[in-house]
């Protein structure tokens, strides 16, 4: 029996170990589609509504037909049931433009086990390398074709950056703009603390708005944190009272090393983990049509 669950948007449960996509699917040959990853915990896909809203934003950036949240909710529900509530899962929503030779979009939901890499990142934190992203923070406003705020299936450079970091012994990457501003991780949002202030780079700097970071900000504001968006430089990370990579499946990974420099233990570490856990369980039940 497969370790994976696969449900197509037409609510069919499929064998994940049978081929699904044609050789000319534009997801395959062009990376031309969008996706979301969600954490399944207790049999439930967390923060589903913000993820569906972001799927719509991404689809719009690529000129794809607007994803119907009703259909996606139903497919997700079936995938949740198939996966069960005994262990966490990593869910993916995938929407591609469909076959080059024509026809409908390709749309499906998968759930797979949470990888050992992710469990390790939660437990021990990560060492990161700062790498040039090549872009200016101003690019996204003037160049919508760069799709900087969209979560596309074209992740080859993200994966290459992670492989590059691995060859130098690092677990993850933080991208820096051509001006030297901190941007994001290839699969995470960068968060820092300065005493009781949380800071993250502004989404209009050409980065993906983080659903987990946004959920955290909602909850942390009620717990006496100031939550801000601000341009950050690498030195701000070194001098911070804690640096974290925040994302949907990993949730929180403390950054314990940047470019080989060991960061002191974050005094707020346990509180951030607790707040994120609370945030992802409670936040984001409202869907905002985009």
Residue ranges in contact with a second copy by CB under 8 A: 3-4, 6, 14, 16-33, 35, 61-63, 92, 94, 96, 100-101, 108, 110, 112, 131-132, 134-136, 139, 142-147, 152-161, 163-164, 178
Kindly tell me which of 154 and 197 has the beta carbon lying closer to a second copy.
154
Q: How far apart are CA 122 and CA 196, in angstroms?
A: 22
- The gap from C-alpha 185 to its chain's centroid, in whole angstroms, comes to 9
Kindly tell me which of 81 and 115 has the beta carbon lying closer to a second copy.
115
3-state secondary structure of 178: coil
- Nearest approach in angstroms of CB 139 to a second copy is 5
- Nearest approach in angstroms of CB 206 to a second copy is 9
Kindly tell me which of 60 and 194 has the beta carbon lying closer to a second copy.
60
Kindly tell me which of 35 and 244 has the beta carbon lying closer to a second copy.
35
- Nearest approach in angstroms of CB 253 to a second copy is 20
Q: How far apart are CA 71 and CA 99, in angstroms?
A: 21
Q: How many CB atoms lie within 10 A of CB 116?
A: 8
Q: N- to C-terminal Cα distance for the chain?
A: 39
Q: How far apart are CA 202 and CA 183, in angstroms?
A: 9
- Nearest approach in angstroms of CB 61 to a second copy is 7
**Cβ(83)–Cβ(109) below 8 Å:** no
**Cβ(58)–Cβ(152) below 8 Å:** yes
**Cβ(94)–Cβ(138) below 8 Å:** no
- Nearest approach in angstroms of CB 161 to a second copy is 4
- Nearest approach in angstroms of CB 64 to a second copy is 10
**Cβ(189)–Cβ(200) below 8 Å:** yes
Kindly tell me which of 110 and 250 has the beta carbon lying closer to a second copy.
110
Beta pairing partners, 106: 96
In the structure encoding, which two tokens stand for residue 31, read together? 């990376």
Kindly tell me which of 112 and 227 has the beta carbon lying closer to a second copy.
112
Q: Using CA of residue 140, residue 237, residue 164, residue 245, what is the dihedral sign?
A: negative
């Amino acid at each position: 029996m497969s370790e994976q669950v696969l449900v197509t948007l037409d609510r069919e449960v499929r064998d994940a170990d049978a081929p699904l996509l044609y050789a000319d699917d534009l997801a395959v040959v062009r990376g031309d589609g969008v996706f979301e990853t969600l954490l399944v915990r207790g049999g439930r896909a967390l923060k589903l509504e913000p993820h569906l809203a972001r799927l719509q934003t991404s689809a719009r950036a690529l000129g794809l037909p607007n994803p119907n949240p009703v259909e996606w909710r139903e497919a997700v529900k079936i995938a949740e049931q198939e996966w069960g509530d005994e262990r966490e899962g990593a869910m993916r929503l995938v929407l591609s433009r469909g076959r080059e030779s024509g026809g409908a979009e390709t749309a499906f939901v998968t759930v797979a086990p949470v990888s050992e890499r992710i469990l390790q990142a939660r437990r021990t934190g990560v060492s990161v390398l700062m790498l040039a992203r090549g872009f200016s923070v101003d690019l996204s406003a003037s160049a919508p074709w760069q799709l900087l705020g969209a979560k596309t299936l074209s992740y080859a450079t993200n994966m290459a950056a992670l492989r590059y970091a691995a060859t130098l012994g690092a677990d993850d990457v933080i991208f820096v703009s051509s001006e030297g501003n901190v941007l994001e991780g290839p699969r995470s949002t960068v968060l820092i603390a300065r005493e009781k202030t949380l800071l993250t780079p502004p989404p209009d700097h050409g980065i993906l708005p983080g659903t987990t970071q946004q959920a955290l900000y909602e909850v942390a504001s009620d717990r006496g944190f100031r939550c801000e968006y601000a341009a950050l430089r690498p030195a701000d990370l070194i001098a911070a009272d804690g640096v974290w990579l925040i994302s949907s499946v990993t949730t929180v990974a403390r950054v314990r090393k940047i470019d080989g420099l060991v960061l002191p233990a974050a005094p707020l570490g346990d509180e951030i983990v607790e707040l994120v856990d609370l945030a992802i369980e409670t936040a984001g039940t409202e869907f905002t049509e985009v």
